[in-house]
Amino acid sequence: MKKTRVLYITQEITPHLPETPLSKIGRFLPQGIQEEGKEIRTFMPKYGCINERRHQLHEVIRLSGMNLIIDDADHPLIIKVASIQPARMQVYFIDNEEYFKRKAVFTDADGKQFKDNDERAIFFCRGVIETVRKLGWAPDIIHCHGWMTGLVPMYLKKSFDTDPIYADTKVVYSLYNDETNGSLNKDFARKSLFDGVTMEDLSAVETPTYNNLQKLGAQYADGIIMGEETINAELNSYITSLEKPLLECQLEESYIEQYSQFYDAILETEEVLVE
């Protein structure tokens, strides 16, 4: 019997970044799901603060070399990989000199959001989708974690719905209490346009706040998970209004089993229609 394939796309994984609820799940969930008998792949951005020598990152030449066009400019896509030995799992990193060289994650030394966080998110989401296509590894479930992955469900439903790699893929989106003050670039929606995507599809981010980007992720997902017990009240109200499978926040000692069962249930449901 074919193993269920689960692709994890997350903006944080420990030990590559400090421990947060999101980064801890990014680290231990894939391992637990793999131990449950499913096949996994995991992707995160290669922020400049990640020590490549310490974590033994190396470039995957056969996957690197693509260019992604964002706002009419070419941006080279570099893929790196490292192993987390205790977990017997690999982490793939999306890298680019312009977007991810700086020694910080989302904010500068004064705590101000980077002006190109919008393009960094677009590059990361599309970079993962294209790299998995190049791998030829068709996931049954894609589980997205955090605001930076918010475009993935929409791209999969609108741009890659007939692609052989993604035609039968279901998408789960997890929300966390990672509310970020401020907004993304005012042209975020326009920059996010891609094959099959219209401005109407991006109406949730007409006002491009970080919370609205998470709403977009939830809007196009087949299932939603509360990654933390408490999240932003506006987001909580929005996702509970959606008629979609919803898994409430789970206890640390049982969440892996509950997530695995949630994946199985999502795979058994009919395609979720997006209004």
pLDDT in tens, the chain (275 residues): 789 999 999 999 999 999 999 999 999 999 999 999 999 999 999 999 999 989 999 999 999 999 999 999 999 999 999 998 888 899 999 999 999 999 999 998 888 899 999 999 999 999 999 999 999 999 999 999 999 999 999 999 999 999 999 999 999 999 998 766 679 999 999 999 999 999 999 999 999 999 999 999 999 999 999 999 888 888 999 998 999 999 999 988 899 999 999 999 999 986 544 44
Whether residue 167 lies inside any domain: the answer is yes
Whether 139 is covered by a domain: the verdict is: yes
Q: Is residue 248 part of a domain?
A: yes
Q: Within its chain, how far is the Cα of 154 from the centroid?
A: 12
Is there a domain that residue 93 lies in?
no
Q: What is the pLDDT of residue 179?
A: 63
Other C-beta atoms closer than 10 Å to the C-beta of 190 total 12
Q: Domain count of the chain?
A: 1
Task: Determine contact, residues 71/42, Cβ cutoff 8 Å.
Answer: no
Per DSSP, the three-state class of 178 is coil
pLDDT of amino acid 230: 87
65 burial type by CB count under 10 A (0-12 exposed, 13-18 middle, 19+ buried): exposed
Side chain identity, residue 72: D
Q: How far apart are CA 112 and CA 106, in angstroms?
A: 8
Whether the Cβ atoms of residue 186 and residue 208 lie closer than 8 Å to each other: yes
Structural domain boundaries, residue 260? 5-55+98-268
| Domain harbouring 230, CATH code | 3.40.50.2000
Query: How far is CA 272 from each of CA 215, 219, 224, rounded to the nearest angstrom?
Result: 16, 10, 12
DSSP secondary structure of 224-252: EEESSS---HHHHHHHHHS-S-EE----T
Residue 84 belongs to a domain:
no
What six digits make up the tokens of 47? 């922020």
Note whether 259 and 25 are within 8 A (CB).
no
Q: What is the pLDDT of residue 135?
A: 96
Picking from 126, 151, 155, the residue whose alpha carbon sits closest to that of residue 210 is 151
Question: Would you state the pLDDT for residue 272?
Answer: 46
Q: Where are the beta strands (DSSP E) in 96-159?
A: 141-145
Give the pLDDT of residue 77: 98
* CB-side neighbour CA atoms (13 Å) of 203: 5
pTM, to two decimals: 0.95
Decide if 106 is inside a domain. Answer: yes
Structure tokens at 133: 């296509």
